[in-house]
Structure 1
Amino acid sequence: MSRVRRAAVAAALTVPLLLAGGCGIATTGVVESGRAGTVKLATATDPGLLYFIAPDGALVPVPVSDRMRWPDLGFTIGLLLEGPPEAAREAGLTTEIPVPPGKSADGMGYVRAAVKSDGDGKTLRVVVPIAVEPLSGAAMRQLACTALAAAHTTPAPEILFIGTESKERRAVCETRPGIAADQSG
């Protein structure tokens, strides 16, 4: 008997045994168990991730690598400022970051952010074309998580955002809501 034939016979004998082993187990309907599980993201940098807000307030990474290939941080923040792509909007993702002045709400065109790093790489300053002082905690978390995903430094630097009002504001990447994730700088 060939190997293939023996494997086929073994499979043919095993399947009925497995089905018979399930006898006596009552079926159940759908069991509601609450919110789906969450996964901790890897800490490796991925400049193709933008963070948007899920209906429950959590930040969700959205890959946009089809529009960029290892771009700089300023370009990545510019993509975030455009708002969620169409597929992300259809999935219920939103943003609390306002559309920059002089830019249409449909996200056409590109905005860039200026990035300045201190000499030792411990602090990253990102100059954005919007006021940062009135931004919500969720908006600051979106900016911070997107910046960290695009920063090519380890360990993660402190991130300060400087807005059009020349105010500087610190932000921390925290993907879950309800935790104070930003501090005034």
Structure 2
Amino acid sequence: VTRFERICFPVIAAILISLLLPPIASLLGMLMLGNLFRESGVMDRLSDTAQNSLCNIVTIFLATGTGMTMSADKFLTAQTLEIIFLGLVAFIFGTAGGVIFGKIMCRASGWKINPLIGSAGVSAVPMAARVSQVVGMKAKPGNYLLMHAMGPNVAGVIGTAVAAGTMLAMLK
């Protein structure tokens, strides 16, 4: 992939998906802005800050803000446990489906694609890709899958954002 394509992708993806699903424009815009920071190569400090310290600070503030507004009688309900359980089931089926389709791609490509990259298709960035890397290294020590697994991992994030935007648009 050329440098021009890597720079154009976040811009074009943000514009097209924002036109199709306006409710997720800010979420996807920030994701693509981070990609643009990294790929441009001229904003190293800003890219490093966005990937590390700023991400950690925002996570702390979100967790603290959410935690301060929650009380046990409102949070620990059957509905909350049901949502957590459904999320767990979604991750299980997402990972299993990714591995199954990874195996299909592996056979279709003449055994050139490692089926483990399919397990990284869930939107748990970057943990799912790291798990694929670790499992692949255990099976074959010279196997380096991290960068190959990040493709479906980021695609899972974009797919999740698009699915959420579609659901929001249908609910309104």
TM-score, scaled to structure 1: 0.21
Give the structure with higher Rg (CA): 1
More helix by share: 2
More strand by share: 1
